[in-house]
């Protein structure tokens, strides 16, 4: 199953607008170009795992919010695809997300 980059991009754009953040501001926060944000929002690019996790933090959303059209609710179906590196990155993301929520 391939990630729906258009829907992910739409969610990024909609959330960014909800937060009243410009593409330029988001790009600065993420350390990427404004053009790359535009490509993400139009579904022309897919973020790396690191950028995806940072994007979730900056937009104050969960990974599920951005990937809800891609990930099945039944996680067992994909459990064999999760490598130790992905699991470790996910745990780090969750820890960082929980820490950021405690500061609000």
- Domains belonging to the chain, first-starting first, are 5-102 (1.10.260.40)
3-state helix, strand, coil in the chain (%, to 5): 70, 0, 30
Share the mean pLDDT of the chain.
82
Rounded Cα distance between 27 and 70, Å, is 24
- pLDDT tens-digit map of 21-69: 999 999 999 999 999 999 999 999 999 999 999 999 999 898 888 888 7
Residue 3: strand, helix, or coil: coil
User: What pLDDT does 92 receive?
Assistant: 80
């Amino acid at each position: 199953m391939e990630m729906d980059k258009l829907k992910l991009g739409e969610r990024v754009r909609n959330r960014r607008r909800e937060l009243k953040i410009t593409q330029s501001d988001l790009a600065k926060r993420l350390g990427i170009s404004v053009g790359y944000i535009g490509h993400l929002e139009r579904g022309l690019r897919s973020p790396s795992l690191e950028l995806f996790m940072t994007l979730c933090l900056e937009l104050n959303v969960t990974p599920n919010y951005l990937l809800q059209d891609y990930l099945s609710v039944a996680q067992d179906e994909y459990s064999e695809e999760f490598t130790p590196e992905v699991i470790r990155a996910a745990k780090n993301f969750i820890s960082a997300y929980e820490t950021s929520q405690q500061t609000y």
